[in-house]
Amino acid sequence: MRASFLFLCLLLFGCQDQSVREHIKLTGHTMGTHYNITLSAVAGEPLQADAQALQEAVDAEFRYLNQVFSIYIEDSELMELNRAEIGQWLSISEPLMDVLQLSQDISARSGGAFDVTIMPLVRFWGFGPDPGPAQTPGASEVDALRSRVGYQHLELGEGQARRLADISIDLGGVAKGYSADWMLRMLEQRGFENILVEIGGDLAVKGEAPRGGPWRLAIEQPSMLRGEARLVVSLTDQGLVTSGEYRNFYELDGERFSHTIDPTTGYPVRHRLVSVSVIAPTAAEADAWATAMSVLGEERGMALAEREQLPVYMVLIQDEGFADQHSSAFERFRQQTL
């Protein structure tokens, strides 16, 4: 589950600030969450757009992407790949190929911390379509499922993909980010220059905000209640994703189980990292890296961030509350701590 981003009136639109440019907001529901899109006029120019036609076009694109990526739609393109015979090549669409190529790259660079073949474990632990275990499972059960996980068992060819073993793919750690990028490109092709797309907390932005200048965005304070900002960053032509551990969990036999599963162990993660925010050239990259960092925890995750020169901001839990730390590449994005 992604931490929500706060679209604060003060940050985005300046409340009663008369200098705010003409803009359009589109909202709706997709991929099990909500989306928000803001289109802002170029300075000194009117925003010539049919909001209703745009809403219909956006919703049509989201329906298409959902049909590609969803594990909840039995005849989705992804589920067809998951059901294909082992070793059988299957022609796949541009979006699915893009996501799988990116995923394989980040899987290798993260040492397997990010792995889209984790679906058997996600379902087993109750964070997919199926209920979780009624009692804490034994190691043999987890090990049996872990043997079905491994990005090395997915092979990509020219417009094709195939499974080399009995793996199942879940794109929950990257599809929303990619869809934000896809929607931004679609709106860019329609002539818009200043765009913000947010899908369940995964953000892609281009150009300038309605107030002019970069988009100033607030990262949420880790809390069971929504609505409090912790940090403000300024972005343009980039993606930003926050992965949070503080809402999507359950307790079983007195233990707390996080929705983030470590592909290398088969178990939900246990560390002090409460949330991690990643800035990248695209929201898809930020999405996948945020998932990898959530798996690795604060020490290994920050070491990876420094090695990859990624702008990363982490919030850790400690006895007296929360503490934060960030990578050296994040410093230039930091605006203020709230």
Lowest-pLDDT choice from 39-48, 68-77, 91-100: 39-48
Give the mean pLDDT of 186-192.
Answer: 95
Residue 183 has pLDDT above 50, yes or no: yes
Lowest-pLDDT choice from 66-70, 200-204, 307-311: 200-204
What is the SS3 assignment for 79? helix
Residue 229's pLDDT is 66
DSSP 332: G
Residue 34 has pLDDT above 90, yes or no: yes
Widest pairwise Cα distance in the chain: 65
Residue whose C-alpha is closest to residue 12's, from 278, 212, 220, 203: 212
Residue 14 has pLDDT above 50, yes or no: no
Residue 262's pLDDT is 87
Lowest-pLDDT choice from 189-193, 211-215, 265-269: 265-269
Domain limits of the chain? 5-12+28-58+176-337, 69-163
Residue 139's pLDDT is 73
CA separation for the pair 136, 255 (Å, rounded): 9
Give the mean pLDDT of 317-328.
Answer: 83
At the topology level of CATH, where does 69-163 sit?
A: T-fold (1.10.3980)
Residue 43's pLDDT is 73
CA separation for the pair 127, 174 (Å, rounded): 16
6 burial level (CB within 10 Å; 0-12, 13-18, 19+): buried
Give the mean pLDDT of 133-148.
Answer: 71
Most confident of 115-124, 172-181, 264-273, 317-326: 172-181
Look over the chain and give the mean of its residue pLDDT values, rounded to a whole number.
84
Lowest-pLDDT choice from 11-20, 49-58, 99-108, 287-296: 11-20
Residue 132 has pLDDT above 60, yes or no: no
Structure tokens at 288: 């996948």
pLDDT digits (tens, 9 = 90+) for 86-102: 999 999 999 999 999 99
pLDDT digits (tens, 9 = 90+) for 207-259: 999 988 999 887 865 654 455 667 889 999 999 999 865 444 434 444 554 56
Residue 5 has pLDDT above 80, yes or no: no
Q: Is there a contact between 184 and 206 (Cβ–Cβ < 8 Å)? A: yes
**CA of 101: how far to CAs of 17, 109, 130, in Å?**
44, 13, 28
pLDDT digits (tens, 9 = 90+) for 44-65: 677 878 899 999 999 999 999 9
CA separation for the pair 279, 266 (Å, rounded): 27
Residue 269's pLDDT is 78
Residue 272's pLDDT is 77
108 against 275, higher pLDDT = 108
CA separation for the pair 113, 96 (Å, rounded): 21
- Which CATH number fits the domain 5-12+28-58+176-337, given the four candidates 3.40.50.150, 3.10.520.10, 3.40.50.720, 3.30.360.10? 3.10.520.10
Residue 267 has pLDDT above 50, yes or no: yes
Residue 232's pLDDT is 86
Give the model's confidence band at 301: pLDDT under 50 very low, under 70 low, under 90 confident, else very high. very high
Amino acid letter at 337?
T
Give the model's confidence band at 290: pLDDT under 50 very low, under 70 low, under 90 confident, else very high. very high
Lowest-pLDDT choice from 180-194, 261-275, 305-319: 261-275
Give the mean pLDDT of 112-124.
Answer: 89
Rg (C-alpha) for the chain, rounded Å, is 20
